[in-house]
Amino acid sequence: MDKNFGRFGGQYVPKALVEPLAELEEAFENYCYSEDFKNIYKKYLEEYVGRPSLLYYADRLTKKLGGAKIYLKREDLNHTGAHKINNVIGQILLAKYMGKKRVIAETGAGQHGVATATGAALFGMECTIYMGEEDMRRQKLNVFRMRMLGAEVKAVAYGTGTLKEAVDEAFEEYMKRYDDTFYVVGSAVGPHPYPLMVREFQKVIGEEAKAQILEVEGRLPDYIIACVGGGSNAIGLFHDFIKDDEVRIIGVEAAGHGIESGEHACAIEGGKIGILHGMKTYIMADDNGNIKPAYSISAGLDYPGIGPEHAYLKDIGRVKYVSVTDDEAMEGFRMLCETEGIIPAIESSHALGYAVSEVPKMNKDEIVIINLSGRGDKDVNTAYKYFEKHGFYY
């Protein structure tokens, strides 16, 4: 199995992780492509997650923007309200096949922690979530959610007390206890085989979307658009369309207060090539190679790197990576609420923000699919503060 995507990806890890990753790679190859595994996985996606998710024609948003026809891939309708559950169920099912009793994960804002705790409860696994102390203070309700779901949440108190230290702590634990423990990674990032494995569990998004658009329109879309944090919802939508040269593919990173402000999360547009979390990819780093903190209004996009396959797709020019600021994303957020009665996640609103500026320039007979990666209930506090500050609805 190729560990790289062109010059990106790989396995840049300490010696103590080589063996657990080799064991994981072997199990992934042996089980995940077997009919038995695929059937059970599919059954959980249908009966627990609620797949296939809808492909919804957004008529009023289309009329409002006056350009291409807009379809939304409704990952927000999945159980737990986002695409993350597709991946978590796949990985925990694999952990079961491997005979593990316990899963661990790290979490920043808490979304991946809640998804992992959900999957652990579903499969009767012990679950420990590592979370920075500062993040635990900021995300009290998500900590409580994880505990209700039966997970132990361990505070990581050193350093900045945020995601970076939580990741280090989870890797430490994985090295020490991989005999009974599986590390569930939340996006298409990390050392091989994680980026490949996460893609495998998210590619259902694009496979469904393709069948659905062929069914209603009789042809492929002209554009597909997704937001990019680590890149899992995006690669999930993109994967099945990459071979279709006529489909233009767009990944939207979070530009925060603008790339020139330095406060952003654009690993591609505002970063450089380096090593982060065991992979070679585009990262946000200073001249000495130290990771710069990422900023975005959306907690799910403020990751200072990007999955290695995206770095490769950027290199070969197959996917166009763009960026959208907080303000542009919140305009997309507001417009979807008001035209369609759907409150989107602020992450997904970055894809909508791009559509707000670009779809009006497209032809009316063109077709766009936007990945609505999650619902916005979790973001109502953030949206409240933002709209209050900017004088909306008051």
Please identify every residue annotated as catalytic.
Answer: 84, 106, 373
Q: Which amino acid is at 262?
A: G
Q: Binding of ligand PLP at residue 281 (CB under 6 A)?
A: no
**For ligand PLP, what does the binding mask look like between residues 80 and 119, x meaning CB under 6 A?**
--x-x--------------------------x--------
Q: Which is nearer to ligand PLP, 69 or 80 (CB)?
A: 80
Window contacting ligand PLP (CB under 6 A); options: 46-54, 65-73, 224-232, 359-367: 224-232
User: By CB under 6 A, is residue 163 in contact with ligand PLP?
Assistant: no
309 binds ligand PLP (CB under 6 A): no
Residue 82 C-beta: closest distance to ligand PLP, Å: 4
> 130 or 178: whose CB is closer to ligand PLP?
130
We find the least distance from the C-beta atom of residue 125 to ligand PLP, in angstroms, to be: 21
Q: Write down the least CB distance from residue 81 to ligand PLP, Å.
A: 8
Identify which range of 164-172, 230-238, 257-265, 333-341 contacts ligand PLP by CB under 6 A.
Answer: 230-238
Nearer of residues 62 and 232 to ligand PLP, judged by Cβ: 232
Question: Alpha-carbon distance 49 to 208, whole Å?
Answer: 14
In angstroms, give the least distance from the CB of 111 to ligand PLP: 4
Residue nearest to ligand PLP (CB): 374
* Amino acid making up residue 112: H
CB of 284 to ligand PLP, least distance (A): 15
Name the residue nearer to ligand PLP (CB basis): 58 or 362.
Answer: 58
Q: Residue 11 interacts with ligand PLP (CB under 6 A)?
A: no
Residue nearer to ligand PLP on the CB measure, 100 or 230: 230
Asked if 127 is part of the footprint of ligand PLP (rule: CB under 6 A), the reply reads no
With CB under 6 A as the contact rule, the residue among 55, 58, 175, 227 that binds ligand PLP is 227
SS (H, E, C) the chain: CCCEECCEECCCCCHHHHHHHHHHHHHHHHHCCCHHHHHHHHHHHHHHHCCCCCEEECHHHHHHHCCCEEEEEEHHHCCCCECHHHHHHHHHHHHHHCCCCEEEEEECCCHHHHHHHHHHHHHCCEEEEEEEHHHHHHCHHHHHHHHHCCCEEEEECCCCCCHHHHHHHHHHHHHHHCCCEEECCCCCCCCCCHHHHHHHHHCHHHHHHHHHHHHHHCCCCCEEEEECCCCHHHHHHHHHHCCCCCCEEEEEEEEECCHHHCCCCCCCCCCEEEEECCEEEEECECCCCCECCCCCCCHHHCCCECCHHHHHHHHCCCEEEEEEEHHHHHHHHHHHHHHHCCCECHHHHHHHHHHHHHHHHCCCCCEEEEEECEECHHHHHHHHHHHHHCCCCC
Q: Which of 125, 224, 228, 368 binds ligand PLP (CB under 6 A)?
A: 228
Strand order in the sheet with 102-107: 152-156, 126-132, 102-107, 181-183
Shortest Å distance, C-beta 77 to ligand PLP: 12
Closer residue to ligand PLP, CB minimum distance, 82 or 370: 82
Q: What span, in angstroms and rounded, lies between the C-alpha atoms of 33 and 387?
A: 47
Of these, 53, 139, 162, 233, which contacts ligand PLP (CB under 6 A)? 233
Binding site for ligand PLP (CB under 6 A): 82, 84, 111, 187, 227-234, 300-301, 345, 347-348, 373-374
